[in-house]
Amino acid sequence: MWWLGAASDGPEPYAAVQHFLGSWIGLLLLFGWSVALFYHLCNGLRHLWWDIGRGLELSSVYGGGWAVLASTAALTIVSWAVGLSHWAH
């Protein structure tokens, strides 16, 4: 919201937001946000799968839990690897 609002307000506010997000505290916040977002997304998909009545055996529930953690880690790592390499250029 802040980012969109600043962008719509003009180049200076936008640059200020970009500067903050590029600082170590900004990056840390973005990193935490990305982990939470990916975790919520993966676990949300797991719940939607349960809601249609699939994967409710105990072994699948455990497996799904690990799959959620693994895909959260994978999505976070891939996103940051691509994003940071993009940033370096």
Partner 1 sequence: MTDHQMPSPAHAPMRSPLGRAIGLGSAKEGVTHWWRQRVSALALVPLTLWFVIAVIALVGADHAAFVTWVRSPMPAVFLILLLVASFYHTALGLQVIIEDYIHGEVMRLAALLLMRLLCVLFAVRGILAVLKMALGA
> How many angstroms from the chain centroid is the CA of residue 81?
13
The smaller minimum CB distance to partner 1, of residues 25 and 52, is found at 52
8-state DSSP, 53: T
The angle formed by the CA atoms of residues 2, 28 and 68, to the nearest 5 degrees, is 100
The smaller minimum CB distance to partner 1, of residues 3 and 62, is found at 3
- Residues 48-87 contacting partner 1, CB under 8 A: 48, 51, 79, 82-83, 86-87
8 scored as a contact of partner 1 (CB under 8 A): yes
The pair of three-digit structure tokens given for residue 1, joined into one six-digit string: 């919201």
According to CB under 8 A, which one of 15, 36, 74, 77 is a site residue for partner 1? 15
Rg of the chain over Cα atoms, rounded to whole angstroms, equals 18
1 scored as a contact of partner 1 (CB under 8 A): yes
